[in-house]
Chain A
Amino acid sequence: MTSSPLHALSGSAGVGRRPAPGQRHHILSVLVENKAGVLARVAGLFSRRGFNIYSLAVAPTDEDEHFSRITIVVDVESAPLEQVIMQLDKLVNVVSIDELSPAEAVERELVLVTVAVGPTERSQVIQLVGVFGGEVVSVGADRITVMLAGRPEKIDDFEGLLENYTVEELQRTGRVALPKLERH
């Protein structure tokens, strides 16, 4: 989750498993008023109605910070998408909802990983980060922290390859998404 001026995330929305490749998930891009408790209202609604959230990212959209955009990856196995959208739309602080199907959206995510590295692993990990187009963001005596931004599947692959090393900490942001632009 990106840093957010929205107040505390109270009420636990069902945070489900990662959508497997090909599994039905949808991205909701929800424009909300940037007011106290709005995130709690959104999360509470998902929890109350039994809808599962896979990931969620929040940040203000404009300079005045009147509005925020919440990008929610919804597990549509848990409830019909129309119900999720209709119920969300009833929240007074929700201004608009765009549904982005994975085929019609660009999705990006960022991951930070701290890996324990001996002298031999250090260069291997740095090389791997280079291949994926990531960055080394912090270096210690016996571990390094690296960053990678990209499509969620790419992050999955990167995470998979890092399993050969000792991952001390790993933090993903959850996806953000916007509609794909038409070519013509």
Chain B
Amino acid sequence: MTGAQALIKSLEMQGVDVMFGLPGGAILPVYDPIIDSSIRHILVRHEQGAGHMAEGYAMATGRPGVAIVTSGPGATNIVTPLANAYMDSTPLIVVSGQVATGSIGTDAFQECDITGVTMGITKHNWLIKDVDDIPRVVAAAFHVATTGRPGPVLIDLPKDISNATMEWYWPSSVDELDLPGYHPVTFGDPVLVGQAVELIAQARRPVFYVGGGVLKARASEALRVLAERTGIPVVTTLMARGAFPDSHPQALGMPGMHGHYTAVTALQKSDLLISLGARFDDRVTGKISAFAPEAKVIHVDIDPAELGKVRIPDVGIAGDCRLVIEEMLLAMEGERPLVQDLAPWWHQINQWRERFPLYYEDVEGGPIKPQNVVEQLRDASAEDTIVVAGVGQHQMWASQYWKFEHPYTWVNSGGAGTMGFAVPAAIGAKMGRPDRTVWAIDGDGCFQMTAQELVTASSEQIPVKIAILNNSYLGMVRQWQEMFYEERYSEVYLSPDLPDYVKWAEAMGCVGIKAETPEDVGPAIEKANSIDDRPVVVDFRTDAREKVFPMVPAGASNDDIVVHPDQLAAR
């Protein structure tokens, strides 16, 4: 068996059903056995697309996404998805071709030290120098990517190793993977869990601060039981939207820079933060020294390095969120009382909810409001629709105005803030969940970065739907320039008509629809939802002046949250 055949067989052994990639010189040997493989290969138009598709697949399914690229520029084009997956702890396996081992270090054609380049943005990477290592390294790569805190890994495969021959084998256990230094934590320390339960029992203003780790740990059900058992309010970060149903009476929505007022303020006024799989990101905490100043902190995270990285916890528990929540529930058995009387806290929270709901001004006969597009899309779509976003204003409006009722229905670029994520990620999500409707809510700036992957979607018959909230600007940058740079707009105008999105969509084999007035919005959505045999792009011409509120200015305390001007009177 050749190394190339061993690689493909190893991927099959791992249960891979689809991979995203683009061939080239150094990876050529691997593309030959793909013809005979059970794995479906999606031929992308740019390697960045392959990486984001694999991420979208992973976020929608929980299974690792796989991408395959050639050496040099093929490999560097997938650096952004690796960095993105590293920030958002997404399990991603990238296989890159490499020049032959004898040429490494000679600046050979399409040579790049990709293991060196990606060292800081992968959980681990491997340069295979012996054909016999292939099955073991592939098995190790999947093990590392999917256990502990998940993350991206890269396998660099020189061309002569792909062509060399070997005796097939498959590692029968983790012990054979040669990972003497890799021991991910699972269960939390029961003593610490006991201390956490005690802190919860004493708190008067507790909040569950839920992050993406709850989704990674498949802990949504356990969280719901814990939340209902204790009656404590729940906030879900940008990475955790869907981990707890937005319709639940204890759900306060999203915290952070553009979070729901009540979620931001409940965290800020809390006396106990119970952080589950969240990492005290600066976009959530605002000015860290002023964040939740009266709160004690219970911090549960599978990555021990997160405990105390930003905020020193009173009780820090290294462990898998689902297992630790189950341990907490067990420790609560027979505990009386589980919590203090939370009625005064809820009374306060309900006042915030009443006074500061999400708000935008919808003027009769005015331009289309982007928030209204999201609301209409939400109301016209099934509850289990997968929503995908890029980065910017449209992403915040999608996260704010969609009602997430199920886990794994929200796919977006959080930590890295990668513009252009939505189109390819939506394609990957649809590949992973062909039974679901997948709507990408995108911005016009983001769309232009990776739109070419709609050619991939058309040719591979992957019917995703893209809603462009086209405000003809790099809207979030425009918002900052308006608010913090005296309306001096520098290099943010894009034009609503250039490109012509409908023609562009049609040229890529999609259905293109334009909505110019508020009356167009409903019919455009209805038409888009009625098409299921090809991708659809809807160009919604939205109000360019619309800003995302609430907003905590960068570096400011969460106490200084800025609400919509019309809500000022309520403060």
Task: Enumerate chain A interface residues (CB-CB to B < 8 A).
Answer: 10-11, 32-33, 36-37, 40-41, 44-45, 48, 80, 82-83, 86-87, 89-96
Of the candidate stretches B18-26, B114-122, B321-329, B482-490, the one touching chain A is B114-122
**Residue in B closest to A80 when the chains form the complex, CB atoms:** B308
Cα distance, A32 to B180, chains bound together (Å): 9
User: Chain B residues near A44 (CB, 8 Å)?
Assistant: 119-120
**Residue in A closest to B127 when the chains form the complex, CB atoms:** A36
A-B pairs, top 5 by smallest CB distance, nearest first, are A86-B305, A95-B181, A92-B124, A94-B181, A92-B182
Within residues 243 to 276 of chain B, which ones have a CB less than 8 A from any CB in chain A?
A: none
Most buried by A among B115, B124, B180: B180
Contact of B180 (CB < 8 Å), options: A33, A37, A82: A33
Size class of the contact patch on chain B: 10 to 19
Q: A33-B181, A90-B303 are in contact. Are A83 and B308 (CB under 8 A)?
A: yes
**Residue in A closest to B113 when the chains form the complex, CB atoms:** A10
User: Chain A residues near B144 (CB, 8 Å)?
Assistant: 92
Contact of A92 (CB < 8 Å), options: B123, B305, B307, B309: B123
| SS class, residues of chain A in contact with chain B | mixed
Query: In the complex the two chains form, is A92's CB within 8 Å of B120's CB?
Result: no
Within residues 151 to 190 of chain B, which ones have a CB less than 8 A from any CB in chain A?
A: 179-182
User: Chain B residues near A91 (CB, 8 Å)?
Assistant: 124, 181
Q: Does B62 contact A (CB under 8 A)?
A: no
**Residue in B closest to A66 when the chains form the complex, CB atoms:** B180
Q: Does B304 contact A (CB under 8 A)?
A: yes
User: Chain A residues near B180 (CB, 8 Å)?
Assistant: 33, 95
Query: In the complex the two chains form, is A32's CB within 8 Å of B309's CB?
Result: no
Chain B nearest CB, measured from A7 CB (Å): 10
Q: A33-B180, A89-B305 given. 16 additional CB < 8 A pairs?
A: A33-B181, A36-B127, A37-B127, A41-B119, A44-B120, A45-B120, A80-B308, A82-B308, A83-B309, A86-B305, A92-B123, A92-B179, A92-B181, A93-B181, A94-B181, A96-B181
User: Chain B residues near A32 (CB, 8 Å)?
Assistant: 181
Chain B nearest CB, measured from A36 CB (Å): 7
User: Chain B residues near A82 (CB, 8 Å)?
Assistant: 308
Within residues 285 to 318 of chain B, which ones have a CB less than 8 A from any CB in chain A?
A: 303-305, 307-309
Chain B nearest CB, measured from A87 CB (Å): 5
Contact of A37 (CB < 8 Å), options: B116, B181, B303: B116
Q: What are 13 sample pairs from A and B whose C-beta atoms fall under 8 A apart?
A: A10-B116, A32-B181, A36-B127, A37-B119, A37-B127, A80-B308, A83-B308, A83-B309, A86-B309, A87-B305, A89-B305, A92-B124, A96-B181
User: Chain B residues near A93 (CB, 8 Å)?
Assistant: 124, 181
User: Chain B residues near A37 (CB, 8 Å)?
Assistant: 115-116, 119, 127
